[in-house]
Structure 1
């Protein structure tokens, strides 16, 4: 079986982005220095793709503390503490431009992903996104979608998808899972790094990671939908329409979260091997989308997907994207391309992969959480010939 979140713990922005995550963790410890970027590339203004929906996008940042749960990876740290970026449909021309990530977060991500490439942290942290902090919310009530990033990756690497969903009329909670990523900066100025990376998985391994993420997600949903929510615009959330999507282990965790929290009505796994067996039995009749690379997730290439397909009892689709790499479901390939870093493992343009991800994930939630029919999910589309419907 090919595993698709096993070498996310090490590598380079240039090289790891180009290689599917198909090797065991033990084989992934040696990082190859990335090619150095030119001076002109270092000076480039990195930019995320523009959101496709009709709404402007606002963003709030929450520091949430679960006082009923000690941190599972560093108990001495005290209660579980999570940083969450909440994207939401906003009124146009309100608020101020939101930053992509802190400079310290950028430095730690580059240290892990692109050692020796010579990319200044400010170049990455200064990536232009489209959300605005302090923006006034648009009128109405909207479904909630929770996003969970890949292992070792900060939550910000799913910003492009989060902004696009918010522009289409969703509140999106982008969750960092503390001590599971390269580094997350908290409001007090502290930046917490990964405690379980580099072969330091806890007892229970990937199953424990999935279970912890499922608990994180339920807590975040509690916080955002509570009458006493710390998010001032919580009344814009329709508590009866909640979904979840994730990349890599975050995608596996979407099924785990659905298994323990019935409020999550629909889920998406973007190229993540399922770690819990049976992986999707707890999902029951709720809808689920499998969206992955053709190289690693066509039938028979990751048996956890074959088993999940058999277990899923409700509406389901299994889609693969020809030419895509494991990382094409987040922001990193598009940013690497703008820096001129080579991406030899993929044959699809990063911008094209981002458009496909946005189109199909957005269509899935439009159908399942808004009840809007989606021809895109019924049959192969001439607009997206790279996408194959498995088990039609």
Structure 2
């Protein structure tokens, strides 16, 4: 895994949001599919098609999903489910891709629910977008390169699906990592399963009705469940690396996928609640050798006015492995975030580093960094909503910058053997 990276974007300058949106449509989104429409152009039948930024690495990318069932845990959000189910997407360097179709970002069923749930949460357009039409750059079921690769777990933000981390995952896979993005059902906005079962349909929506951090009990349950999910996924990856098939539906796996996993080199990165999750998971599980927390609190919500929330053990005691704290200058929760991050940084062994992206907002770490400017350019999102979501930073700057921070961190701390 190379540590070299050239993003070609100089110092971030404050420009108009309109200029940024035009650059997003004209410059950033390359790599196949229908061209981004001009602002004001008629939307295609079914709504406008948005495009994800192309990965920059030398490897073609394979794609598969894993349906994993943990019989040792009950689902914390749905009493009718006696087991805990987890869905994951695996991106990996492919040996060959001919004959393997390109994967959509979301299934049609998940996209339909996404267009309702996320439209409400993030002020996305309620019509005019075909969310199911966005394609990735990864090929379904392509055979993996039989070369042991670093394994990176991804935990998305609270209420977000794993599919909103596609751009970064593809970038990492194109540069020689295996990326496993984990959905946390009941928490994630929508999770599509291979089949329906008693207690849920084919697509399971989030139970959240607002910010889970406003409820200390909900937040504690969410983070505890997420950490257990990641540890369980690691257990199942060990089964896969040993030649087994952990998919609970028995679906066939891409050839040589298990041989692509180097579980001696495991990292984790997460956004918001996912950042909290990966930092604490690294503290609890020594299999995780490095982690990136993108604006995830490292304390529990305050139990009352003028009372500080309890720090997570990772912030109380520190870690002996590398942790990157990655933030924006536009996150509304920066003041609240500062307390637990300051505690993390105060530990004397110096394993934690902090970096900031300016002129950006909280969702710039997700695919919204590329998608929101396209929505604005098409007249489907007001400039102020785009700034609230991802900031005024140009996507031609933000996308490579976020990729660079994450990829260079893991290249340094999970080097090739």
| Per-residue CA distance 1:343-379 (angstroms, 9 max, x = gap) | 133220134212111011000011111169xxxxxxx
Map of 1:370 onto structure 2:
415
Correspondence 1:106 to 2:148: no
Superposition pairs of residues 294-373 of structure 1, within 5 angstroms: 294-296=329-331, 302-311=338-347, 313-340=349-376, 341=381, 342=383, 343-345=386-388, 346-370=391-415
1:120 CA drift (Å) = 5.0
| Per-residue CA distance 1:294-350 (angstroms, 9 max, x = gap) | 234878862221112124735332000010110000002311221222313322013
Q: Tell me: CA distance 1:59–1:314, structure 2 relative to 1, closer, same or farther (3 Å).
A: farther
The secondary structure found in structure 2 opposite 1:173 is: strand
1:41 CA drift (Å) = 4.6
Residue range with higher mean Cα deviation, 88-97 or 298-307: 298-307
Q: Using structure 2 for the length normalisation, give the TM-score.
A: 0.74
Superposition pairs of residues 150-169 of structure 1, within 5 angstroms: 150-169=157-176
Superposition pairs of residues 135-154 of structure 1, within 5 angstroms: 135-154=142-161
In structure 2, C-alpha distance between the alignment counterparts of 1:82 and 1:168, rounded to whole Å: 26
1:275 CA drift (Å) = 3.0
Contact (CA 8 Å) 1:288, 1:312: kept in 2 or not? no
Q: Match for 1:198 among 172, 192, 210?
A: 210
Correspondence 1:287 to 2:322: yes
1:282 CA drift (Å) = 5.6
| Per-residue CA distance 1:166-215 (angstroms, 9 max, x = gap) | 11111111000000022111111511111243367877332322121110
**Structure 2 residues without counterparts, runs of 5 or longer:** 1-38, 197-201, 248-252, 301-310
Map of 1:235 onto structure 2:
259
Contact (CA 8 Å) 1:88, 1:167: kept in 2 or not? yes
Contact (CA 8 Å) 1:60, 1:87: kept in 2 or not? yes
Correspondence 1:225 to 2:238: yes
| Per-residue CA distance 1:34-57 (angstroms, 9 max, x = gap) | xxx967356543111111111111
**Structure 1 residues without counterparts, runs of 5 or longer:** 1-36, 373-392
Superposition pairs of residues 1-392 of structure 1, within 5 angstroms: 40-41=42-43, 43-94=47-98, 95-115=100-120, 117-120=125-128, 123-188=130-195, 190-198=202-210, 204-226=217-239, 227=242, 228-230=244-246, 232=253, 233-276=257-300, 277-278=311-312, 279-281=314-316, 284-296=319-331, 302-311=338-347, 313-340=349-376, 341=381, 342=383, 343-345=386-388, 346-370=391-415
In structure 2, C-alpha distance between the alignment counterparts of 1:366 and 1:89, rounded to whole Å: 16
In structure 1, C-alpha distance between the alignment counterparts of 2:64 and 2:183, rounded to whole Å: 14
Larger radius of gyration: 2
Residue range with higher mean Cα deviation, 350-359 or 190-199: 190-199
Q: Using structure 1 for the length normalisation, give the TM-score.
A: 0.79
1:124 CA drift (Å) = 1.3
In structure 1, C-alpha distance between the alignment counterparts of 2:225 and 2:367, rounded to whole Å: 24
Contact (CA 8 Å) 1:288, 1:314: kept in 2 or not? no
Aligned residue pairs total 335
Residue range with higher mean Cα deviation, 255-264 or 282-291: 282-291
Q: Tell me: CA distance 1:239–1:283, structure 2 relative to 1, closer, same or farther (3 Å).
A: farther
In structure 2, C-alpha distance between the alignment counterparts of 1:74 and 1:38, rounded to whole Å: 44
In structure 2, C-alpha distance between the alignment counterparts of 1:53 and 1:283, rounded to whole Å: 34
1:110 CA drift (Å) = 2.1
In structure 2, C-alpha distance between the alignment counterparts of 1:74 and 1:361, rounded to whole Å: 34
Map of 1:5 onto structure 2:
none
In structure 2, C-alpha distance between the alignment counterparts of 1:101 and 1:283, rounded to whole Å: 37
CA-atom RMSD in angstroms: 2.5
Contact (CA 8 Å) 2:103, 2:140: kept in 1 or not? yes
In structure 1, C-alpha distance between the alignment counterparts of 2:211 and 2:53, rounded to whole Å: 34
Q: Which has the higher contact order (CA 8 A, sep 6+)?
A: 2
